[in-house]
Amino acid sequence: MTETWIILGATSSMARAFARAVSKNGDQVILAGRDIPDLEASASDCALQGAPIAEAIQFDARDAGSFAPIIERASELEGMINVAVFVGSMPSQDQIDADPSLIAGTVTDNYAGPATFLQLIAPAMEERGGGTVVGVGSVAGDRGRIGNYVYGSAKAGFHTYLSGMRNRLTRSGGHVVTVKPGFVDTAMTWGIEGMFLVATPDKIAADILKAVEKRKDVIYTPGFWRLIMGIITAIPERVFKKLSV
């Protein structure tokens, strides 16, 4: 069956790796983001990998006016409509402490913008049998930590939204995979101190594709982050508030 993947935030290294993977499966791809020349180069690569249709289109999580053209284009194509959300931004907590106005953009990029897009496209997905949503969150959303609690709170909100959307799309045959990566070697994490057990984008993309095929609900990637976050979330609040983790 023909499938189309709308990939939001397609200029990220994780998104590129995922786009190549689904292109090798023969799926159609719509690469959506702000840097059109970069997206067009990725689209050419996807076509070489096997995607019968590979197109670049403008998307900005902070501009709801950019959403409709993507949905309209996907609706013109045959087959199931799928969406993979790789959108996000991560100002440091120090930057946000110095300028709290950054909170609005952080919440929009990581939660409100992607959620609005998914809310708008959900009816078209349901009409065709549900499709699949891949929502990339973060282990940072599992517990508020002093080093990134604004970013983490936005991801936590997105996790909760995806849980509700999973409940909704299941009724029409669709599915939602919530992805919680740990540290990944991307431009967004470049230069951050204290990172450990850093994964490659290709590893994350492979784990996501496997989760889609097995219709997993929530995955940590790499998998050992489930144990790490289980330990972190189990620490009593009276102890946790004294830690710098």
Mean pLDDT along residues 165-174: 97
The average pLDDT across 175-194 equals 71
Name the residue type at position 69: P
- When pLDDT is cut at 50, 70 and 90, the band that residue 196 belongs to is low
72 contact partners, CB below 8 Å, separation of at least 6? none
pLDDT band at 36 (very low <50, low <70, confident <90, very high): very high
Region at 194 (left for phi over 0; alpha for psi -120 to 50; beta for the rest)? left
Length of the chain: 245
Q: What is the largest CA-CA distance in the chain?
A: 55
Mean pLDDT score, 205-231: 95
Query: Would you say 43 and 54 are in contact if contact means Cβ atoms under 8 Å apart?
Result: yes
The secondary structure of 221-244 as a DSSP string is ESTHHHHHHHHHHHS-HHHHTT--
What's the whole-model pTM score?
0.92
